[in-house]
């Protein structure tokens, strides 16, 4: 905020016209900017939908796409009481419902829509492993519509509220912020590529944050409650049977397991307590959502790579104030998802969206981009890290790992990402302490 | 205060980068048989000797572009062979459509768009930075190019790039280079030859002037350049005695007056008129025999596909195109102004589109994209371009007929409409109207007073007239009819009606554009 006040404040249109080549994009106001940015964001999502989904053509269990489809056929064809209960008709070992009820209701509604056009995709039992042109299209459209109906309005609400209190907000900055939020590569790749419905829970969360900003606390509680009921944002219906880590997640447990075989040392029960303890204790220093989200990701039990979306969200909300933080966390979140995306056949969208994000982030302006980058002594380190990441990408794609350590490359990738996340975690915690202290000191000065 | 040269190049590349990301994402989308056509050309230029390029019949998709395009495919095939040899195998590669070949070909289209980038950069070099930026946006983000080149699959981008390079040289006054690049373009795709009369007249009067001796000297220079280019293209085939075969492949007049999907041109109305007349005359008791030939099939001997109206032959269309071009040619003869060249060439392609033989709807690219470069000159041109680009983009919708691509084409068009509105509003705020550099402006001002467009210009902001608004709303109605209402009211009957409606409705828009361009050219002032 301090840096922004030091800059030239926009007095009238002429100044902007001469300085910034992007003036023609924003001269019609925020609503118009939001309209075409969201259209473009929708276009990008539709284009990503053309690509494969998780588990495509991969029997017997397929992937998340099949899970979501299965939940639609379960919720459509069985009474509510049976949805979470194991029975002959609802075999919980085949993608049993393990998300809270709001997801179940949403599956029901989407199931109704799909049944209208293509009932074979959601019929009980016979639709297992159903893969067709129309089926895929309809499923993709359910994600698109959820995104457009929940996430986009939430972002607009947030931007409207966040910038209404700042009379000197530059139009180009606001447009940039909207673009950054709507074109977040991780969210698009997971929701519209891999196939999930994170946009709903994340959208509700954004709405809750916006409500807090506009002092509508009740609305905030309501929206956040909905978000929790859609996808556990802070508590999980933890499937403890699956073990403390599944897959290769840039998580504290996984990384340290390279050194300490946690699994062998403790029973599941004590591991549960340990992780809960770690999560809660790291939550303590934080007030800002960013830090709780981060700690959740870093320490909690049973985390998937996609949970990185959670700390990513507040980072994007704060994009204007901490642009470098956002760039760094986005790039590494993307990288940590790379093995998953590669399995899904989503390398091309990964590349395209990474380039798109970088372009939007570095949108050329007439001024020097002094506000967007950290001091130059960091840039050497960051360049080295970026180069290492690029090399790792290429190695992962082209070389075969040694037979003794078949997951060596994934481990290295996760180590790199985890190290960066740790650094960022410390940074955000430190900033928060400083913020608290300066607020405290200001209060003291006022009293004197 | 304006932008530095380096920053503006940065800006151009930024636009191009964003467009490229979208194009990359569209790689797995639907592609037409044109994809297999180009893959086949990769295969046959790679594996067959030159003498068999134009006579090979292994695949029905025979080579029918001039030799430079064949050489271009030959160069590409080297890379294709390195990536996946099956692409260029003449038998095993038939209908090959795995991820490698799709990605490879799509990426070649994306890379060849760099040529168009350079062309539009060169054409707008001398304009002020604001205008330049706006033109770049209009050209680089055109939905027509994305739909035709990057989904349906073709290589129009780099060909238009050559056209822009040629036009840029002409506008600079470097006619020899302009002529050279046009000749090169003709040896890539002979369809661009529709503008050859304009080039000929303009170069004759502008370049080969200044006394008899100088004129003749320059004429021979130009002739030598053009001959050299054509020789570089055709000489190997003349040497092999293949030239007859090449020409036969390049000009397949066995096809009908119309393509299977009627391009929205004049002949649509001619056919409809014929059908209506037949219908009404039959009602009045006249015995009209049903024709044997069809509009889309070839010429069947002497028989005409028309019941009442006179038959149309390729020669007829040729004469009509020349006739339509004549006012433009007369203007170019009387006063060859470099500033008007782009409009004249665009007009030539419009006439070719409207009155030509077996025109594809994709040919509208040839005149719409060049018109984007002059759209920011004044309000009238802007309004005309706004309407024309929406109509032409919409007329391309039937090319992408799968459900999966429906949101994509709709979003592309809507997004472009909003971008155009932003661009033109930015250009035509208070005071900007007066600064327009076109010499025609006074003329335009006088013409404007009649409509209510001028009121909008005075107030600031880009506004389209009522009649244009209703026409655009009509487009929406046509689309809703085609997608929804037709199947409700007619079920499976009369399946050709929605497509016909699109052709007719868009044809109206294209005819309007032709009249507007003609009027502009005729009324342009002479110094």
C-beta atoms of B418 and A47 within 8 A: no
DSSP designation for B476: H
Straight-line distance from the first to the last Cα atom of chain B, in angstroms, rounded to the nearest whole number: 33
Q: What is the mean pLDDT of residues A216-237?
A: 69
C-beta atoms of B14 and A359 within 8 A: yes
Residue of A nearest to B428 (CA): A24
pLDDT tens for B478-512 read 999 999 999 888 888 888 888 889 999 999 999 99
Residue of B nearest to A368 (CA): B7
Element (H, E) at B373: none
pLDDT at A400 over 80: yes
Interface test with B, best of A20, A46, A360 (most B CBs within 10 A): A46
Give the separation between CA B350 and CA B333, rounded to whole angstroms. 19
Give the pLDDT band of residue B433 (cuts 50, 70, 90): very low
C-beta atoms of B133 and A46 within 8 A: no
C-beta atoms of B407 and A46 within 8 A: yes
C-beta atoms of A39 and B418 within 8 A: yes
Lowest mean pLDDT among A252-261, A298-307, B140-149: A252-261
Select from A413, A425, A332, A356 the least CA-distant residue to A37.
A356
CA dihedral sign, ordered A247, A252, A257, A262: negative
C-beta atoms of B22 and A32 within 8 A: no
Environment class of residue A44 by beta-carbon count within 10 Å: exposed (0-12), middle (13-18) or buried (19+)?
buried
C-beta atoms of A133 and B130 within 8 A: no
Contact in structure between A417 and A336 (CB atoms under 8 Å) = yes
Lowest mean pLDDT among A82-86, A333-337, B63-67, B458-462: B458-462
pLDDT at A311: 72
C-beta atoms of A352 and B21 within 8 A: yes
pLDDT at B301: 54
**How far, in Å, are A153, A349, B10, B327, B423 from residue A338 at the CA level?**
29, 11, 29, 61, 38
Across the interface, of A35, A51, A360, the residue whose CB is closest to B28 is A51
Lowest mean pLDDT among A207-221, B44-58, B398-412: A207-221
pLDDT at B436 over 50: no
pLDDT at B3 over 70: no
Residues in contact with B211: Cβ distance below 8 Å, sequence separation at least 6, in sequence order:
none
pLDDT at A101 over 90: no
pLDDT at A16: 41
Give the separation between CA A386 and CA B228, rounded to whole angstroms. 51
Helices (H), B48-98: 67-83
Contact in structure between B373 and B124 (CB atoms under 8 Å) = yes
Across the interface, of A19, A21, A43, the residue whose CB is closest to B22 is A43
pLDDT at A396: 87
Residues of A in contact with B425 (CB under 8 A): 27-28
Q: What is the mean pLDDT of residues A180-199?
A: 92
Residues of A in contact with B404 (CB under 8 A): 50, 133, 137
- Closest CA–CA distance from residue B22 to any residue of chain A (Å): 7
pLDDT at B518: 96
pLDDT tens for B207-252 read 988 888 988 999 999 999 999 999 999 999 999 888 888 988 888 7
Contacts A–B by Cβ distance under 8 A: 97
pLDDT tens for B378-426 read 899 999 999 999 999 999 999 999 999 999 999 999 999 999 999 898 8
Residues in contact with A44: Cβ distance below 8 Å, sequence separation at least 6, in sequence order:
A183, A188, A353, A356, B21, B22, B25
- Closest CA–CA distance from residue B411 to any residue of chain A (Å): 6
C-beta atoms of A366 and B415 within 8 A: no
- B196-206 vs B341-355: helix axis angle to the nearest 10? 150
Helix count (H) and strand count (E) of chain B? 22, 0
More confident residue, B456 or B167: B167
Across the interface, of B415, B422, B427, the residue whose CB is closest to A43 is B415
Structure tokens at B346: 């665009």
Across the interface, of B2, B21, B411, the residue whose CB is closest to A42 is B411
CA dihedral sign, ordered B232, B235, B240, B244: positive
Across the interface, of A28, A355, A364, the residue whose CB is closest to B422 is A28
Residues in contact with B377: Cβ distance below 8 Å, sequence separation at least 6, in sequence order:
B436, B437, B438
Give the pLDDT band of residue A283 (cuts 50, 70, 90): very low
Select from B303, B292, B298 the least CA-distant residue to B259.
B298
pLDDT at B140 over 70: yes
Environment class of residue B386 by beta-carbon count within 10 Å: exposed (0-12), middle (13-18) or buried (19+)?
buried
| CA atoms in the 13 A half-sphere facing the CB of B310 | 4
More confident residue, B243 or B455: B243
Structure tokens at B437: 């550099």
- Closest CA–CA distance from residue B74 to any residue of chain A (Å): 27
| CA atoms in the 13 A half-sphere facing the CB of B281 | 14
Provide, rounded to the nearest whole percent, the portion of chain A with pLDDT above 90. Answer: 23
Structure tokens at B17: 């980068």
Provide, rounded to the nearest whole percent, the portion of chain B with pLDDT above 70. Answer: 90
pLDDT tens for A418-446 read 788 778 777 777 776 776 677 667 767 76
pLDDT at B175: 93
C-beta atoms of A359 and B17 within 8 A: yes
pLDDT at A86 over 50: yes
Residues of B in contact with A8 (CB under 8 A): none
Q: What is the mean pLDDT of residues B96-119?
A: 94
Residue of B nearest to A363 (CA): B14
pLDDT at A25 over 90: no
C-beta atoms of A43 and B419 within 8 A: no
pLDDT at A431: 72
pLDDT at A293: 53
Helices (H), B463-496: 466-480, 486-490
pLDDT at B348: 97
pLDDT tens for A244-272 read 333 334 444 444 444 333 333 333 334 44
pLDDT at B167: 97
Structure tokens at A37: 């940015």
Range with the largest mean pLDDT of A352-366, A376-390, B159-173, B488-502: B159-173
Environment class of residue A278 by beta-carbon count within 10 Å: exposed (0-12), middle (13-18) or buried (19+)?
middle
pLDDT at A234: 64
pLDDT at B197 over 60: yes
C-beta atoms of B403 and A46 within 8 A: no
Residues of B in contact with A144 (CB under 8 A): 407
How much is the mean pLDDT over chain A?
Answer: 75
pLDDT tens for A172-186 read 888 899 999 999 999
Chain B residues whose C-beta is within 8 A of a chain A C-beta are: 1-3, 7-8, 10-11, 14, 17-18, 20-22, 24-29, 103, 129-130, 133-134, 403-404, 407-408, 411-412, 414-415, 418-419, 422-423, 425-427
Give the separation between CA B420 and CA B425, rounded to whole angstroms. 8
Provide, rounded to the nearest whole percent, the portion of chain B with pLDDT above 90. Answer: 62
Give the separation between CA A140 and CA B151, rounded to whole angstroms. 20
pLDDT at B181: 97
- Closest CA–CA distance from residue A182 to any residue of chain B (Å): 15
More confident residue, A298 or B129: B129
pLDDT at A20: 63
C-beta atoms of B26 and A50 within 8 A: yes
CA dihedral sign, ordered B284, B289, B294, B295: negative
Give the separation between CA A151 and CA A205, rounded to whole angstroms. 9
Chain A residues whose C-beta is within 8 A of a chain B C-beta are: 18-19, 21, 23-25, 27-28, 32, 35-36, 39-40, 42-44, 46-48, 50-51, 133-134, 137, 144, 348-349, 351-353, 355-356, 359-360, 363-364, 366
pLDDT at B353: 96
Residues of B in contact with A344 (CB under 8 A): none
CA A250 from centroid of its chain's CA atoms: 15
- A30-49 vs B5-25: helix axis angle to the nearest 10? 40
Select from A146, A135, A145 the least CA-distant residue to A103.
A146
Select from B158, B190, B504 the least CA-distant residue to B361.
B504
pLDDT at B129: 83
pLDDT at A233 over 60: no
Structure tokens at A80: 């509510």
Contact in structure between A23 and A370 (CB atoms under 8 Å) = no
pLDDT tens for B362-378 read 999 999 999 999 999 98
pLDDT tens for B82-104 read 999 999 998 888 888 899 999 99
The C-alpha angle B223, B224, B225, rounded to 5 degrees, equals 95
DSSP designation for A373: S
C-beta atoms of B14 and A363 within 8 A: yes
**How far, in Å, are A236, B106, B116, B505 from residue B110 at the CA level?**
45, 6, 10, 32
Give the separation between CA B479 and CA B473, rounded to whole angstroms. 10
- Closest CA–CA distance from residue B414 to any residue of chain A (Å): 8
Across the interface, of B18, B404, B407, the residue whose CB is closest to A359 is B18
Structure tokens at B84: 């996946």
DSSP designation for A322: -
Give the pLDDT band of residue A197 (cuts 50, 70, 90): very high
- Closest CA–CA distance from residue B30 to any residue of chain A (Å): 10
DSSP assignment of B392-433: HHHHTGGG--SGGGHHHHHHHHHHHHHHHHHHHHHHTSTTTG
pLDDT at A17: 43
| CA atoms in the 13 A half-sphere facing the CB of B313 | 6
pLDDT at B202: 94
How much is the mean pLDDT over chain B?
Answer: 87
Straight-line distance from the first to the last Cα atom of chain A, in angstroms, rounded to the nearest whole number: 26
pLDDT at A216: 80
More confident residue, B523 or B452: B523
More confident residue, B279 or B20: B20
Lowest mean pLDDT among A158-172, A350-364, B178-192: A158-172
Lowest mean pLDDT among A80-94, B191-205, B439-453, B499-513: B439-453
C-beta atoms of B7 and A21 within 8 A: yes
pLDDT at B330: 94
Give the pLDDT band of residue B178 (cuts 50, 70, 90): very high
- Across A3-38, b (16+ Cβ under 10 Å) vs e yields eeeeeeebeeeeebbebbbbbbbbbbebebbbbbbb
| CA atoms in the 13 A half-sphere facing the CB of B179 | 27
Residue of A nearest to B134 (CA): A24
- Closest CA–CA distance from residue A385 to any residue of chain B (Å): 24
pLDDT at A366: 52
DSSP assignment of A179-242: HHHHT-HHHHIIIIIII--HHHHHHHHHHHHHHHHTT-HHHHHHHHHHHHHHS-SS-----GGG
pLDDT at A351 over 90: yes
Give the separation between CA A238 and CA A271, rounded to whole angstroms. 13
């Amino acid at each position: 905020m301090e840096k922004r006040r030091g800059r030239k404040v926009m007095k009238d249109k002429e100044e902007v016209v001469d300085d910034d080549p992007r003036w023609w994009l924003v001269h019609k106001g925020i609503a118009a900017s939001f309209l075409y940015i969201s259209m473009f964001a929708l276009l990008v999502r539709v284009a990503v939908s053309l690509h494969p989904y998780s588990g495509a053509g991969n029997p017997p269990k397929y992937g998340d796409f099949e899970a979501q489809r299965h939940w639609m056929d379960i919720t459509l064809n069985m009474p509510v009481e049976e949805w979470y209960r194991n029975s002959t008709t609802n075999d919980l070992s085949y993608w049993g419902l393990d998300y809270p009820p709001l997801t179940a209701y949403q599956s029901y509604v989407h199931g109704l829509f799909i049944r209208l056009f293509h009932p074979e995709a959601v019929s009980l039992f016979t639709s297992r492993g159903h893969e067709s042109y129309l089926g895929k299209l309809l499923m993709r459209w359910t994600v698109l519509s959820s995104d457009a109906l929940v996430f986009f309005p939430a972002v607009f609400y947030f931007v409207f509220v966040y910038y209404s209190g700042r009379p000197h907000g530059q139009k180009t900055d606001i447009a940039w912020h909207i673009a950054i939020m709507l074109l977040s590569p991780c969210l698009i790749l997971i929701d519209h590529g891999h196939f999930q419905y994170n946009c709903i829970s994340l959208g509700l969360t954004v709405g809750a944050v916006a409500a807090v900003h506009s002092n509508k606390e009740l609305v905030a509680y309501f929206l956040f409650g909905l978000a929790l009921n859609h996808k556990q944002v802070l508590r999980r219906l933890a499937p403890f049977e699956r073990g403390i880590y599944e897959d290769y997640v840039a998580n504290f447990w996984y990384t340290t397991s390279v050194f300490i075989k946690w699994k062998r040392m403790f029973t599941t029960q004590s591991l549960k307590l340990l992780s809960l303890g770690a999560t809660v204790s790291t939550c303590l220093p934080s007030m800002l959502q960013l830090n709780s989200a981060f700690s959740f990701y870093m320490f909690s039990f049973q985390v998937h790579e996609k949970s990185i979306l959670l700390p990513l969200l507040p980072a994007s909300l704060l994009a204007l104030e901490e642009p470098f933080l956002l760039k760094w966390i986005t790039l590494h979140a993307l990288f940590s998802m790379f093995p998953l995306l590669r399995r899904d056949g989503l390398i091309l969208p990964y590349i395209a969206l990474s380039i798109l994000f970088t372009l939007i982030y570095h949108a050329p302006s007439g001024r020097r981009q002094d506000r967007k980058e950290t001091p130059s002594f960091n840039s050497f380190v960051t360049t080295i890290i970026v180069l290492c990441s690029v090399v790792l990408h290429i190695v992962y794609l082209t070389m075969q790992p040694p037979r003794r350590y078949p997951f060596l490359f994934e481990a290295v990738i996760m180590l790199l990402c985890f190290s960066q996340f740790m650094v960022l975690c410390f940074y955000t915690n430190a900033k928060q302490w400083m913020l608290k202290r300066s607020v405290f000191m200001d209060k003291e000065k006022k009293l004197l | 205060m304006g932008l530095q040269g380096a920053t503006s190049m940065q800006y151009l590349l930024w636009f191009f980068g964003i467009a490229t990301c979208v194009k990359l994402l569209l790689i797995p989308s639907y592609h037409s048989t044109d994809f297999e056509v180009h893959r086949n050309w990769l295969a046959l230029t790679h594996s067959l000797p030159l003498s068999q390029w134009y006579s090979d019949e292994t695949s029905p998709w025979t080579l029918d572009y001039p030799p430079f395009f064949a050489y271009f495919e030959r160069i590409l095939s080297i890379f294709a062979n390195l990536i996946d040899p099956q692409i260029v195998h003449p038998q095993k590669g038939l209908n090959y459509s795995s991820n490698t070949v799709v990605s490879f070909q799509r990426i070649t289209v994306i890379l060849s768009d760099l040529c168009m980038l350079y062309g539009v950069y060169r054409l707008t070099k001398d304009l002020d930075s604001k205008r330049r930026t706006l033109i770049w946006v209009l050209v680089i983000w055109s939905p027509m190019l994305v739909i035709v080149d990057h989904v349906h699959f073709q290589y129009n981008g780099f060909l238009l790039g050559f056209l822009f390079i040629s036009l840029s040289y002409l506008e600079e006054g470097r006619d020899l280079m302009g002529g050279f690049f046009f000749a090169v373009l003709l040896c890539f795709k002979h369809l661009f030859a529709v503008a050859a009369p304009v080039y000929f007249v303009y170069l004759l009067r502008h370049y080969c002037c200044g006394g008899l001796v100088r004129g003749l000297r320059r004429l021979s220079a130009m002739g030598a350049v053009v001959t050299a280019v054509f020789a570089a293209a055709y000489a190997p085939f003349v040497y092999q005695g293949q030239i007859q075969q090449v020409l036969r492949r390049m000009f397949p007049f066995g096809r009908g007056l119309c393509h299977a999907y009627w391009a929205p041109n004049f002949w649509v109305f001619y056919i409809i008129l014929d059908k209506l007349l037949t219908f009404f005359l039959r009602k009045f008791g006249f015995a009209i025999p049903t024709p044997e030939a069809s509009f889309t099939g070839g010429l069947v001997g002497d028989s005409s596909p028309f019941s009442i109206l006179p038959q149309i032959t390729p020669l007829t269309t040729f004469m009509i195109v020349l006739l339509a071009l004549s006012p433009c040619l007369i203007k170019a003869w009387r006063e060859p102004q470099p500033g008007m060249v782009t409009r004249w060439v665009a007009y030539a392609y419009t006439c070719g589109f409207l009155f030509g033989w077996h025109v594809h709807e994709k040919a509208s690219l040839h005149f719409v994209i060049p018109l984007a470069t002059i759209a920011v000159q004044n309000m009238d041109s802007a309004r005309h371009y706004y309407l024309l680009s929406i109509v032409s983009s919409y007329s391309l919708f039937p090319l992408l007929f799968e459900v999966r691509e429906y949101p994509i084409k709709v979003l592309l068009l809507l997004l472009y409409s909003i971008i155009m509105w932003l661009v033109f509003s930015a250009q035509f705020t208070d005071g900007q109207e007066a600064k327009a550099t076109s010499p025609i402006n006074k003329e335009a001002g006088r013409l404007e007073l009649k409509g209510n467009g001028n009121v909008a210009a005075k107030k600031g902001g880009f506004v389209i007239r009522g009649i244009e608004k209703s026409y655009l709303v009509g487009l929406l109605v046509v689309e809703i009819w085609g997608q929804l209402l037709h199947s409700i009211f007619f079920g499976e009957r009369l399946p050709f009606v929605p497509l016909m409606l699109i052709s007719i409705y868009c044809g109206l828009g294209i005819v309007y554009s032709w009249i507007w361009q003609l009027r502009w050219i005729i009324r342009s002032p002479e110094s």
